[in-house]
Amino acid sequence: MISTTNASSPRWFSTFASVAPNLDIEPLAAPVTSQADIERVVKSLSRQPSDALIVVGDSFVEIPATRRLIVELVAAQRLPTLYGLLSFAADGGMICYGIEHLDPYRHAASYVSRILKGEKPSELPVQQPTKFRFVINLKTAKALGLEPSATLVAAADEVIE
């Protein structure tokens, strides 16, 4: 599911589409701009028994009401879903892999310090997130009739039971 309000969505999907065939995955872009779009996408995907959903993180899907709606809809449709935002795990998301949200802010403080000491902002390097977390919600997986492998569970940074 890709929010068209996110300017980086086309690049993210292009990257995903280029590696998907190596994983025997057929990517399907599902652009959304509203909660009605989300309902339509989830219902259409649930009709395909082999489908799963990836929800890419952005400001639209991070809205608490939208986030809860997505989790509720995929649970009702029994649709396995991977989320790019860790906040989905606490709401019942099955598998989440994403950055620690506070980590970029911690790095920003050092940039402010460097700028206040005279460095030019244009000369500072762009920093990418370095801290990622993998969370599995076993309660949700079991409700969907799925049993994640012991290897997958052992690889998780956090397991919600």
- The Cα–Cα gap between 99 and 121 comes to 24
Q: Name the phi and psi angles at 42, rounded to 5.
A: -65, -45
The torsion region of residue 100 among left (phi > 0), alpha (psi -120 to 50) and beta comes to beta
The parent domain of residue 91 ranges over 2-100+131-160
Residues of the chain with confidence (pLDDT) below 70: 1-2, 4, 49-50
120, part of any domain: no
Q: For 74-110, write each residue's pLDDT tens digit.
A: 988 888 889 988 889 888 999 999 888 788 888 888 8
> Total structural domains in the chain?
1
Give the pLDDT score at 152.
94
Residue 73: the pLDDT is 92
For residue 151, what pLDDT is reported?
A: 96
Does some domain include residue 93? yes
pLDDT at 1: 67
Q: Tell me, what CATH number does 80's domain have?
A: 3.40.50.2300
**In angstroms, how far apart are the furthest CA atoms of the chain?**
58
96 is a domain residue: yes
- Please report whether residue 53 resides in a domain: yes
Per-residue pLDDT at 118: 96
Decide if 93 contacts 144 (C-beta within 8 A).
no
